[in-house]
Chains A and B, each alone.
Chain A
Amino acid sequence: MPELVSSLKEIREARGLTQAQLAEVIGVSRKTINTVENGVYVPSTVIALKLAAALDTSVEALFRLAE
């Protein structure tokens, strides 16, 4: 299975949001944000879309498949 590369941390920090604040906006726990950023957990399409909407970006900008 291809590894998912996440740019979530960089984009979140660029928006000036903490993990807790982002988690609060999309209605998940902070550990979910943490594991997605660390590549431990691959989020569902719903969470990916919520993250993209909350950060005002696209899902493709947040995640890509490793080469």
Chain B
Amino acid sequence: MTTTQSDAELADQLSRRRARMLPVLGLFFIMQQSAFWSNPPAERVVDHVRIGAWVVLTGVILFTLSTNGFWFRPAKVRAMIDDELTRANRTSAMHWGFVAAMLAGMLVYVVEGVTQFTAREVIHLIVSAGIVMALVRFGLLERRGYA
């Protein structure tokens, strides 16, 4: 199995870029939380847009994490980017994300006696904890490959 040099170089370049981008995306996702928590839920149009934007962003991140991304790149390049090590890193990241989501759920369950949460807030907390943890873990593992 041989590939052209440009494919290998492109795969390396894209893989490095992804390793740099993931922690930044995690940071952006955390910063975006302030928009949710600083504005109490209301029935204005802007609130629906804000809630919808979070759903879209979360969906894109989850889909990217699950499928490797780079959907418009050649299959050969995608295969090199999504090689054995990357799949192992992704599995580890998803595991950490699942544990973080479960811990967030347990924490909300305990704190519920002190502070009242809406169903939307609970879902937001659990999903965000899982997504951020998976993103950061995947990014750190991928960066370790270039250390």
Contacts and interface: CB of A to CB of B under 8 A. Distances in A.
B71 interface: no
A28 B84 contact: yes
A23 interface: yes
B1 A32 contact: no
Interface residues of B, number: 23
Contacts of A41: 85, 88, 145
Interface in B40-89: 79-81, 83-86, 88
Contact of A29 (B1, B81, B147): B81
Contact of B84 (A24, A25, A40, A47): A47
B5 A32 contact: no
B2 A24 contact: yes
User: Which range holds the interface residue count of chain A?
Assistant: 20 to 34
Interface-centre pick from B5, B11, B15, B142 (highest chain A CB count, 10 A):
B11
Interface in A48-62: none
A31 B145 CA distance: 5
B144 A24 contact: no
Nearest to B7: A24
Contact of A32 (B2, B83, B147): B83
B3 A27 contact: yes
B121 interface: no
A20 interface: yes
B8 interface: yes
B12 interface: yes
A62 B75 CA distance: 30
Contact of A27 (B1, B9, B144, B147): B1
A29 B79 CA distance: 9
B37 interface: no
Given A20-B12, A46-B84, 15 more contacts: A20-B8, A23-B8, A23-B80, A27-B1, A27-B3, A31-B12, A31-B15, A31-B85, A31-B145, A32-B84, A32-B145, A34-B147, A35-B85, A35-B145, A44-B84
